[in-house]
Amino acid sequence: MAANLIEQVKEIEAEADRIVAEAQAGAREVEGSVKEEVAALRKAHEQALAEKAGTFARKVERKTDQELKELDQRARAVAERLAAPDQGAVSAAVELVLKRLREG
């Protein structure tokens, strides 16, 4: 009877070892699956972030280009006014100088 009990205990231990081994194998499989899923999610998020960064950079570049064009236009307009002063203003200035010279 004692031998039978010992045999049953050994069978139970073997079954327990088999269950533990199956559980460990299942855990390793789940762990590998989770790692793959995390890697895939990380890659997807990195790609989405890169796309957003690229879109933002293009928007900034377009806005900067537009602002530079507007500033160039304003600078040209100012340069044209400085290069060709208003004849009315020039005449008024000459009249003022002549008037002061006459008054003397």
pLDDT of res. 73:
97
Count: domains in the chain: 1
Low-confidence ranges of the chain (pLDDT < 50): none
pLDDT of res. 1:
75
Q: Name the DSSP class of 84.
A: S
Cα 11–chain centre separation: 61
* Residue among 47, 28, 24 nearest 36 (CA): 28
* Domain assignment of residue 79, given as a range: 2-103
pLDDT of res. 46:
97
pLDDT of res. 29:
95
pLDDT of res. 89:
81
**pLDDT 10s digits, 80-91:** 888 887 788 888
Q: CA of 24: how far to CAs of 11, 14, 21, 34, 37, in Å?
A: 20, 15, 5, 15, 20
